[in-house]
Chain A
Amino acid sequence: MTTHTTPADGSPVLVLQDVHRVHGSGETASTALAGVDLTVHPGELVAITGRSGSGKSTLLNVAGGLDVPTAGSVTVAGSRLDGMSRAALAELRRRHVGYVFQADNLLPTLTALENVALPLELDGVPVGAARGAAERALARVLPPEHANRYPDQLSGGEQQRVAIARALVGERTLLLADEPTGALDEVTAEGVLRLLREAVDNGAAALMVTHDPAQAAWADRVVRLRDGLVQSAVTAEGVEVTL
């Protein structure tokens, strides 16, 4: 995919410390996160699972600086998000964080290539360089002749692959994915997850929210939330397939 700026000392890309998030106040207050600790290192894919309302989407939003914790701290690529100015936060997000949501957020009036190049152009990268980087990222996920197609000329699986390329273009260290394979069929979803896995194996860190055990199983660690707390964390290490 792209090269990632991986901290040489192997320090974590994302650290959540005792993160609380309460929506509303007084009698109508509802607790989405009730004290979550989570650390994600480069080369690690972490899945967040749990029922509806367990706090998983809030966790993802907090990790990406899209939502602000009521208490506790979030550190992305070594910078604490609390107290950061709006502009600085936006800058940090652009530089380090890539988002993959369900396949509905490619800009319909831009080609696949333009969609992928957009974050770099917004970052101030010169158009030529941005296109070059986008072409390289896109070549990993789509046949080259598809690069100039518009989203509605691509299949659902292809659109989602473009979305991943866009999340990864540049030198993003943290990928945040919310049900990244949405309603794709099994084999197409597998292709998308394979891509995510590859990016992580190449040094990115990723946090993926999913309710589907089949998707979660692609992760190195499966963290289960319940009532805003970590209920369990399962790591893949040491398990061998015996047939």
Chain B
Amino acid sequence: MGVREGLLALLHEGPSHGYQLRTDLERTVADLWSVNIGQVYTTLQRLERDGLVVAEGDADADGRVPYRLTDAGRGDVTAWLGTPEPRRDDVRDELVLKVLLARRSGLRDPQDVIDAQREATMQALQAFTRRRAELTPEQGLEELLALDRLALRARAELDWLELVEQRLDTAAPPPRHTGSPTDTTTDRVPATLAAEQS
């Protein structure tokens, strides 16, 4: 995730070799992501093949080859930095599904689904908040930015749960499968199934 572009951006600072690039990359993201050294080497080879970096001279005593950024590579990463990240909007969100299925099936009160999720998400938000409180922008900007993002996602989820609760309060009764098309009173287990269970 972003290793390719990370390598290009770091090489803009000057020629470097794979091992050093990995260290620098991990430091940039406050060691939040661990970067696989093998991936760094294969990525460098691919970048070289595509003309975005070139090997600069020979391997040193440890067999490390320094790479230099080409103009094409600089253009590539500059364009990447200026491109918005694709949004990950997935309507097939499992939480939405849980609420809707709980409501429809009657197997659980949808409020239980909301309460359980709210507790888990609030605990995560509390943990993020506590960790953030220990950091200052001077000391831990990298981690702070990552935590801000996680905290805001958690808040969005809590806001959404609040909204769900309010919407369910005022919503019409859920649609349920019924014993017969005209029978609208059956609301749980179909009669045949109920008979089998007893």
Residues of A that sit less than 8 Å from B by CB: 51, 190, 194, 197, 213-214, 216-219, 222, 224, 231-232, 234-236, 239-241, 243
Contacts and interface: CB of A to CB of B under 8 A. Distances in A.
A211 to B, nearest CB: 9
Nearest to B157: A213
If over half of A's interface residues share one DSSP class (helix, strand or loop), that class is named, otherwise mixed; here it is mixed
Given A232-B115, A232-B118, A234-B119, A222 B126 contact: yes
Nearest to B116: A232
Interface in B155-169: 155, 158-159, 162, 166
A217 B121 CA distance: 10
Contacts of B186: none
Nearest to B150: A243
Interface of B: 32, 115, 118-119, 122-133, 143, 146-147, 150-151, 154-155, 158-159, 162, 166
Contacts of A218: 126, 129, 133
A74 B123 CA distance: 28
Given A214-B125, A217-B128, A243 B133 contact: no
7 contacts: A213-B125, A216-B122, A217-B122, A217-B151, A241-B147, A243-B146, A243-B147
Nearest to B123: A239
Contact of B122 (A194, A234, A240): A234
A214 B151 contact: yes
